[in-house]
Structures are given as structure tokens and as C-alpha cells.
Amino acid sequence: MARLSSGHGAAAGRRARLVAVAAEPEDLTPHRLRGLAGLADELEIRADLVGDPDPARLRRHFPGPLTYALRSTRQGGRSAAGPVARRTRLLRAADRYDLVDLEAMDDVQPELLAAIPARQRRISWHAPDQAGGAGAGLPAAVGSLRNRFAAMAAVPAALYLLVPQPGTQYGSAAPLLLTGLARTDVTAFASGPAGTWTRVLAPWLGAPVVFGRAGAPGADGMPDLDRLPADYGLPALPPLSGLYGIAGRAPGGSLSPRLHNAALRELRLPALYLPFQVDRFCPFWHWGAGFGSLGGLPLRGLTVTAPHKESALEVADVADPEALGCGAANLLWFDAGRWRAATTDTVAALRTLALSGADPSGRSAAVVGCGGAGRAVAWALSRAGARVTLVNRGIAHGREAAARLGLGHVPLSRFSPAGYDLLAHATPLVEREPFPVAAADRDAVVLEMAYRDPPTALTRAIRARGLRGIDGWEILSVEVREQFRLMTGHAMPQTAPLRALGSDPDGRSGTRARTASREPAPAHRTRWEAP
């Protein structure tokens, strides 16, 4: 087990300033502004999205500094104002706002600089889509970003902001730029959901501010404001010496950052758990290995979601028997100089069954779903003595998984739950029953791997029928604790229930679907979810 050393960092003892970004007219209602006043230090008005509100009215409800940003279409915004109209609006804002965003290099004009003093300027650069550094090596991209900043810094300002696109070397280089500059008047991060982790990490690397949406998150990857303290403990910046995270196609829908970071803070471990949106796992993995040497914050562990579980097993130096047996891993961690792979789906299935009083030995079991989670559950039940049948919608994939595990297979179209003592569901389907629960035996035990509030259709059907069921929240409780133990070498504290940690900061528990290390469970869109 890898144990964390006591950390240190340039950010230790500092506090980030939280900036609420108003991007919708609803963000400027008196009620919303008063709510932001209890969370944010500053308020940014995206004038290209909400127009030019009266700052005097804003200050009646929000007492902090106000920033005016008129993002142009050239830099990813919505403002198509011509040069004269743009200068007019920026000059008017300079008389009424505390900080005015000037785009490099179009707004760096003598007339504007003469009217807006350095203490009132924020010089920003948002790269156009897929611009800058694609195909270059990471060190070269860092050097290129540093040169761009040097040109921006020739104009004195209170703050400098660089936002490259994700998916390019510039996006990967953004955090490393901050490390190399060692300044406290610069922030840099990648835009888009793939860049969310760079936004969160930036304050620990010297950035003075971190931005959060005043309302619902947008496509730019900016979290909503109340997630910054709830999921990452911001604005506090405790010592940091390593990183953990979740790697998947849509990690923004995961509870893992909130659960793991709460435990890390309580145990005072110098680490941060981040969401890594990953389309291709191997390139991400090779880049992540180099991040520690350049940024001084080595990657120590990852929980991994579909479809990357097979790739996670392939990159490991050594794998636990359970992961080898099912051909997939949902956990990677650095231990004694080697990367280990494991699947915690096996532990979760067997432990929750034991807690419910269900012994798989000698029982007939059907596992619906042949992905990484389904194969892991089937492998665990088989090793525990159950007679397991795999069920899958895709016949070829189901037969392949069954042959690998030495188990029987039934296509989903021909499956009936009748006659099985144990039924396990391991697919992302949550809106309808994956099989007709009404046909299950009265004494059957049903294990639902997916979790969400409101409950999945399968969980609702189980309760209505009066069957003994294990829902995904119970699975989550076991999995996340086991993952934390393996990655950090510490037991996760028992002080805060997982369901409470997953509740909405406004007190409305269960408004989101969340996944810790398994495939995402779709849910109705809420203000927490990016479109």
C-alpha cells in the first residue's frame, strides 16, 4: 500500500479567491446574488452573455469586487461588437467596475490603456478551437505558452489569464506553465470538460483565483460555484504533494472527487482527487506519467470507468487475480515502485451480499451485462461457488465474455429471471427494468450495480415486488472505501455517510446520478450537469 508523505507546497497557507461567473440572466436576480455573496469573493459579469447590468444594482446584493468581461467571438465568446462599439462598452465599464477584462492583443490599445489603469486590468487570452501546440512535444508547448505570456506581461495588469483548448499540447501544458512561472498574478487552465481538472488544480500551482459558474455549468468545463468547496475543499489550499483521480468518458458526473477529497482532508493527507476526462486511455496514461516530473505532483492512483477498464489492466506492472480473471481493472495505484491494477467490483458484490445474509455458494446466479463490472461480478460469484450465467444484449460480446470466464451465456432477448436465486444487473440502463422483475422468484436476491436518486427503475421494481435487493448506493459505499484504502494505505473515515456527502449543497439530496468507479448511470438533467 502506498502511504503519502507529509506534503508541502507553494500554496500552503494561501487561500484562493472564488470568482462567481454570471453567464445567464437568472444569475443576476437579487436572490441569486445574495446567495453568491455567501460563497464568492468576487463576481464576474459575462457581458457577451448577459448584457450590461447596472453595477450599482449588483452591489446592493453582492458586496465583493465586480469584473466586466466582454468575450469576443475571436476568443470563444458571443460578442460580435465592432471595434468602436467594443471600445465604448469597455470604457463605460471602466468607470463602474473594479476589473475590466482586456483581450490580448486586440484590446491592448493606447486609448483603452490610458483610460484603464494597470490595477484595473485583466489581460486574457482564450485560444480558438484546436489552436496552438498540437503535434508539439509537451516541453515545447510549455515554452510556447511562456512566450505568449511574456508578450501579455509587457502590459502591466492586476491579473493575467491564459485559457488554451483541451486536447492540444497547450491544454496539457497550462498547469505546467504556472509551475514554471511561480507567480501569483497569473492563472492558466484548459477550457472544456477535459480541462476541468486544470481549473481546480491551478490555485495550488500559484493562481490567485478559481472560477465557478453562478448557475448551471456550461460546456466550458467550469464547475458551478458550490461544487468548488463541496468537491475540492476550496478556497482552502492545504499542502499538496500528489494527485489521485477518476479517468473516464464523463467524470463530471462522478461523486468520487467529493468522497475522496473529503476523506483526504479529514485525514490531512497532502493529496487532491481530480476528474480526468479521457477519450483514449493510453495517451493519457503516458502523459500522466510525465506530469509528476514536470509539475512536482506525481499521479499516485486512479479509479477507472468504462470503456477504459481493459486498458487500465494493460498498462499495469502487476495485477490482482480478480482483475486478471475478469480481464478488467477499475483501479490503478502506485505501490513500491510499480503500478498495480485491481477491480473493486468483486469485493463490493461479495461483501454486500454477505451483509444482506445471502451466500452465493451453491446458488444459481444470472449476471446481466458483460462489461468490466459484469465480468468482475460474475467472476466473484463463480469463485464463491455460485452457478453463474452471463446475460448480454450483444450476443457476440456475451459469448466472448462467457468463454473467457468459462461460464454459460444467454442472450438478453431470451432471458427470464425465473429460477435464479441471485440476479445481478451491471449495465448503465437505469430508466427501465433490464429484465421483467415480476417474473423473478419470490425469494430471489437482486443486486443493482447502478446508483442514483431517484432510484433506478430496477430498484423501484424490486421494492414494489418486495424482493430482497441491494442497490447501487450500498455497492458504492463498499467500493469507494476499498479504493481509498488501496490507493492511500488509509481507511476512509466513517464520520460522514456517503449518501450525505453526495447530497446537493442546497440540501436537496439525490438530484444527480453519480458514478464512483463504474459506468455512468444516466439521469434527468439538473443544474449540476453540463449539457
Q: Specify whether the CB–CB gap between 471 and 447 falls below 8 A.
A: no
d(CA 217, CA 383): 44
List active site positions.
Answer: 309
Q: Which residues contact 35 (CB under 8 A, 6 or more apart)?
A: none
Q: Cell digits for 427?
A: 449495465
Q: Cell digits for 480?
A: 469507494
d(CA 218, CA 21): 11
User: Cell numbers 505501490 correspond to what residue?
Assistant: 335
Q: What is the DSSP letter of 530?
A: -
Q: Cell digits for 486?
A: 488501496
Q: Give, in degrees to the nearest 5, the angle at Cα 114 between 110 and 118.
A: 110
Task: Tell me the pairing of strands 445-448 and 422-425.
Answer: parallel
119 residue type, one letter: R
Q: What is the DSSP letter of 414?
A: G
Pick the CATH number of 350-475 from 3.40.50.720, 3.30.413.10, 3.40.1380.10, 3.40.50.12280: 3.40.50.720
Where along the chain do its domains lie? 17-237, 350-475
d(CA 32, CA 18): 16
pLDDT tens per residue, the chain (531 residues)? 444 544 434 455 689 999 999 999 999 999 999 999 989 999 999 999 999 999 999 999 999 999 999 999 999 999 999 999 999 999 999 999 999 999 998 999 999 999 999 999 999 999 865 444 444 566 777 888 899 999 999 999 999 999 987 665 556 678 878 877 888 999 999 888 888 999 999 999 999 999 999 998 888 899 999 999 999 999 999 999 999 999 999 888 788 999 999 999 999 999 999 999 998 898 888 876 555 554 578 899 999 998 999 999 999 999 999 999 999 999 999 999 999 999 999 999 999 999 999 999 999 999 999 999 999 999 999 999 999 999 999 999 999 999 999 999 999 999 999 999 999 999 999 999 999 999 999 999 999 999 888 899 999 999 999 999 999 989 988 999 999 999 999 999 986 545 554 333 333 333 333 334 443 343 332 222 222
- Torsion over CA of 225, 230, 232 and 237, rounded to 10 degrees? 90
The SS3 assignment for 68 reads strand
d(CA 433, CA 443): 19
Q: Cell digits for 426?
A: 451491471
Q: Which residues contact 26 (CB under 8 A, 6 or more apart)?
A: 32, 215
Q: Which CATH superfamily includes the segment(s) 17-237?
A: Aldolase class I (3.20.20.70)
173-206 in b/e form (b: 16+ CB < 10 A) is bbbbbbbbbeeebbbbbbbbbbbbbbbbbbbbbb
